[in-house]
Every structure is written in structure tokens, then in C-alpha cells.
A and B are shown apart, each in its own frame.
Chain A
Amino acid sequence: MSELLARHPILIVSAIKVIVLMFLLLTTLAYLSWFERKVVAHMQSRWGPYRAGPHGLLQPLADGLKFLFKEDPRPAGVDRLVYYLAPFLSLSLALTSIAVIPFGPKEIQILGHRTPLAIADLNIGLLFLFAITSLGVYGVALAGWSSNSKYPLLGGLRSSAQMVSYELALTMSVVGVLLLAGSFNLREIIENQKNFHWGFLPRWNIFAGPFPQLLGFFCFFVAAIAETNRLPFDLPEAESELVAGFHTEYASFKFAMFFMAEYASMITVSCLATILFFGGWLSPFPDTRAWAWTHFLPTVLFGLGGLYVIWDGIRYETVLGRILLPGLGAVFCLLAAAFTIPNVNDFVQGPFWFLLKVSLFLFFYVWLRGTLPRFRYDQLMAIGWKVLLPLSLANVVLTSLAIVWFKR
């Protein structure tokens, strides 16, 4: 082990990073489903999951166990290889794409080796991401085809058409950002958004001169929602027409894999939106002495959250809740205290702002789901080809004109 570490340190260090990130990501995926159910429930004046654990906090665990132990029938006449390949393909591609996302500016030290806070810092990070997402359509299409059933086939066909159509707008909409940054590297794209207009408005790409990428962001986010098959564009799994679309014939853990893939791509897209348009890990406040207090915002947020959880927990109706919730709150408060240590405080700034922005996007996703009805299929295609694609092309032309005009 130590010999291997000496000869190929990058292998061991990367393996450690992959294991840690996978653990965090899968936990986040599980709790994202809890978050979505809770938020949508409250929007619809319901309680949402409430039985498994206090406030349903153990629900993801229960769901995971249920998926593992359910019977896993294989329908008659399926194409065996492709039927088993499809969910695997979906999940592994969705999880791979997180590898190039940088979470913070600081380097970390693992076993004496300094390494960036991302699994891989690629020159072509953004292209790599698009390459992976462009392959994501196979999981859905092949699942639909191999199930040997009419509803999955229709769902698979719809989703291939939808994803191919929206990928075009998705790719074109980020060209403006690339023109401003002059790099495919996600780290450099973020560093390029550093400064401030007039001392307070952050020069993120969405506000950046010479041409703010508002149009680009609109196209990107709409196309991204369609690309991840979420409401209001979840035509591939429209219940009222297609039962459950491409995964109708899947049960047990194979269904769970599709489910996790959907949430993983939601996270990736939110990360990408944050990086490309909202300055990634950069704080929205200027880095001057007058704004130095904002460095303690992580402490304030975690501290208040922890205190609220403790206050709520001690009055909870079950004994388990009265133990678990104050414990959770105490952990939050401890984290808040830890964030005041100068070194730690310096380190958490980047990841804090990054994750805060990403969670805002995730909330936006859920909010959309709770608000908008589903589009009709012809409307979906019309929006993709007749609205988003021309708009994103216009964005490319306008941005390049502005750059040539102002930066001469």
C-alpha cells in the first residue's frame, strides 16, 4: 500500500476522494427525495412523510431498505442484456458527471498530497460534462425499448426525441459564457467572474459586462429541466398517458437506480448553473474589510438552524424525536462553532456559498414541480425548436458582438 502510494500517489488520493464524494452524494440523493416530498407536501397543505423517524427523517433509509428487499421480477420477452444494462448505464453516467465539479477554491491535503477540491480538474471540464449528459439518453431509450411493452417503448421514444432536441439548446446556451471566460475549465470559468461592478454588484456571468447572460441562463435552465426529464417537461413518464413511461416494467432496486439517476442529474445541473452563471463558490459580497462580517454567515446560518431544531425537538411528540432532533441540532451548533476557527472559517467560505447556491437551485426545481402543470408533447417540441434554439443562437451572436465592440 505505502509502496503503491509512493509510486502512484494520484491513484490513492483520487480513490479516497471518490469514496468520500460518493458517500456524500448518495446521502444527499436520499435526502433530496425527502426534501422534495416535504416541500411539495407543504405546498399542497399536506404533512408529507411523517411516520418513519421524527419529521420523516428516516424515510429515505426505509425506502432504500424496501427497494433492496422487494421482489425483482423480470417481465416475459425482455431483451435480457439491455434490460439489465439500462438502469446501470443511467445511474453510472449520472454519478460520473459530478466528478469534474469543483466545490471550492482551496486545495486540501490527503496523505501529504495537495489536491484540488474536485475529483478531476480537467481542461475540458465543461465538454466532459456535456459528453456524459449526452450519453444519458441511452439509459432511458434502452430501458423503454428492452422492456417489450408498449408504454415503456412510447416513453423511451418520447424521451430520446426530447433529450436530443433540448441538448442542442442546452449546449448553445452556454456558448455565451464560454466566450466571456475563454476556457472550458470550470475552475477558470469561476475565477473569471471574480470582480464587482460599482463595488457591490458581483460580476457573475448573469450580470457580467459586456453582455449579461440573462438570456443564456434562461435557455440553459429551461433546457436543463427538460434534459433531466423533470416537471413541467416530464413527458417521458407522464402518468396519465404512459403509466410510468420508460421505467414501467422495472421494479425493486433497478427502479431505484433510475430514481437516483434523476436526482443525481438534478444535482449536476444545479451545480453547472451555479458555476456557469452564478459565480460558483464566489461570495456575493465584496472581499473588503467593511464586508468581513459576511465570513461568519455560515456560523450564523448553522447556529440558528441548530437552535431551531433543538427548540423544535424537545417538544416533539415521540421519544425518538425528543432524542434525535436535539442531537441533530447540537451537531449543527457544534459545526457552527467550528466554523469560527480562523483556518476552518477561511476554508468553508467557498464550499458554503457553492452549496448554498446549489440548494437554492434544487429548491427551485421542487418549487417548479409543485407549481406548473405538464406541457403537451407538441408544445414541448415547439418550445425546444422554435423558442429556445433561436433564443440561444441570438444570445451567441449578441454576446460575440458585444465582446468585439467593447473589448477592442
Chain B
Amino acid sequence: MTAPAIIFFLLAGIALAGAVSLILQRHPIHSALSLIVVMMALAGLYLLLGAEFVAAVQVIVYGGAIMVLFVFVIMLLNAGAEERTNLSRMARLVGLPLGFFLAFELVYWVARAGPAGSSAQTAVSSTRELSKLLFQKYALPFELTSILILIAILGAVVLAQRER
């Protein structure tokens, strides 16, 4: 096995373990920490693909901003450990079959797709190329997205504001 393959399987294993632990943990903070582990492992995978900028942004945005807010809110609400229940009737009758169906579908399509094509070769890796795409070719969708996010922020502020 070559070094990149070893690193890939290591990072993929860490990501999977983090994802499983996210579901199995009983305390919200532990779940949030598991999610951070998943994010970091994904950033490592991006780095392995040569997408340095995306990896750094993954850590800064997801690891440093979004997950900090998650942890912050959990700390603020002082959420305790969750109760573990047996599956509810809803989960047993609808959730389990749907889950199995999703797993089957994923396996089926991945198996049919065969080995990865050359899609990774055309990926944009350098920051300069990426920003050229973002601010020239896709400038309009990009700006529209930022306006959408701005509206969402304003909406959150309006909703959170107390009545005067």
C-alpha cells in the first residue's frame, strides 16, 4: 500500500468512527466533539486531494465557527445527558426499513459506478483558480447566495428580538 492510500484509510476510518460515536454518545457535548473529529478528518481528506484552500476553509468555517456555536449553545442551555430509549414504534416501523433502503441504495450505486473516474483530475486546487471561478464565471450565483445568507441573518435577528 502506498503512503497516500494508508493516510486515506486512516482518515476515512477516523471520520467513520467519529460519525458513529456522534450517534452513540449520550451527552450532546460529546456528540458535538465527535462531529468536530469528522470535520477534521474530512479536511485531511481534502488536503490529500491537493485542495489546500478547501481544507483550510473546512477547518476555519466548520471547525472554528459553526461547531463553536454548537458547543456554545449546548453549554448555554446546560443540556444534560440524553435518556436512552428502546426504539419507538415510529422508528421501528418506518425508520428501520427506510434506513436499510438507503444503505442498500448507496451500496448499489457505488458498486455500479465502479472505480473512480478522472473527475478528481479536473478539480480546481489552487486558490487563485478557485477564486477566478468564484468571482468571474459564477459571480452572480455567488453574490445571490451571500444575499440569501444576509437575509437569513436578518431574519434570525428579527425573530430573536424581544418585543418592546
Contacts and interface: CB of A to CB of B under 8 A. Distances in A.
Interface string B28-52: 0110010010000000000000001
Given A123-B52, A184-B127, A164 B69 contact: yes
Given A124-B127, A134-B64, A138-B68, A157 B75 contact: yes
Nearest to A8: B3
B29 A134 contact: no
A22 B69 CA distance: 32
B24 to A, nearest CB: 14
Contact of A79 (B29, B68, B76): B29
A334 B65 CA distance: 50
A360 interface: no
- Please report whether the interface of chain B is mostly helix, strand, loop or mixed according to DSSP: helix
Interface in A118-146: 122-124, 127-128, 130-131, 134-135, 137-138, 141-142, 144-145
Contact of B60 (A127, A153, A184): A127
B53 interface: yes
A156 B75 contact: yes
A142 B71 contact: yes
Contacts of A127: 52-53, 56-57, 60
Interface in B52-73: 52-53, 56-57, 59-60, 63-65, 68-69, 71-72
B68 A164 contact: yes
B58 to A, nearest CB: 9
B72 A138 contact: no
B132 interface: no
Nearest to A81: B30
Contacts of B92: none
A167 interface: yes
B52 A141 contact: no
Nearest to B72: A160
A135 B71 contact: no
Contact of B52 (A122, A144, A161): A122
Given A124-B127, A142-B71, A160-B75, A137 B64 contact: yes
Interface string B70-91: 0110011000000000000000
Contacts of B76: 157
A184 B131 CA distance: 13
A131 B56 contact: yes
B95 to A, nearest CB: 29
Given A127-B60, A131-B60, A82 B75 contact: no
Contacts of A123: 52, 126-127
A18 to B, nearest CB: 19
A82 B29 contact: yes
Given A157-B76, A160-B75, A141 B68 contact: yes
Contacts of A161: 72
Contact of B29 (A137, A145, A153, A160): A145
A64 B68 CA distance: 32
Nearest to B57: A127
Q: Which residue among A123, A131, A141, A163 has the maximum number of chain B CB atoms within 10 Å of its CB?
A: A131
B75 A153 contact: yes
Contact of A164 (B29, B30, B63, B65): B65
Contact of A131 (B36, B63, B71): B63
Contact of A134 (B33, B53, B65, B72): B65
Given A79-B27, A138-B68, A145-B29, A124 B63 contact: no
Contact of B64 (A81, A124, A153, A167): A167
B158 to A, nearest CB: 18
Interface in A173-205: 184
A145 B65 CA distance: 18
Interface in B113-154: 126-127
A142 B63 CA distance: 14
Contacts of A145: 29, 71, 75
Nearest to B75: A145
Given A145-B75, A161-B72, A131 B127 contact: no
Given A131-B59, A135-B59, A124 B72 contact: no
A141 B75 contact: yes
Nearest to A144: B75
13 contacts: A79-B29, A81-B30, A82-B33, A123-B52, A127-B57, A131-B63, A131-B64, A134-B63, A137-B68, A141-B72, A144-B75, A157-B76, A164-B72
Interface of B: 27, 29-30, 33, 36, 52-53, 56-57, 59-60, 63-65, 68-69, 71-72, 75-76, 126-127
* Shortest 7 CB-CB contacts between residues of A and residues of B: A134-B64, A127-B56, A131-B59, A124-B52, A160-B72, A145-B75, A131-B60
